Amino acid sequence: GWNRLIRVDYHGSKEVPTGTCHAILKAAGIK
């Protein structure tokens, strides 16, 4: 689920593009 996405984002936040970060945060906010 999205929990895994958040976890991956925290692990490699610097490697993930800002757009992807916002997309994950937005998805987390919606859910």
What residues does each domain of the chain span? 1-31
Contact 9, 24 (CB under 8 A): yes
User: Which pLDDT score, from 0 to 100, does residue 28 have?
Assistant: 81
User: Which pLDDT score, from 0 to 100, does residue 2 have?
Assistant: 58
**CA–CA separation, 4 and 2 (whole Å):** 5
DSSP three-state, residue 30: helix
Tokens for 8, please give them. Answer: 């991956």
Global confidence as pTM: 0.32
User: Which pLDDT score, from 0 to 100, does residue 23 have?
Assistant: 77
Whose tokens are 């992807």? That residue is: 20
- Chunked in runs of 10, what are the mean pLDDT values of the chain (31 residues)? 57 60 77 59
User: Which pLDDT score, from 0 to 100, does residue 20 have?
Assistant: 73
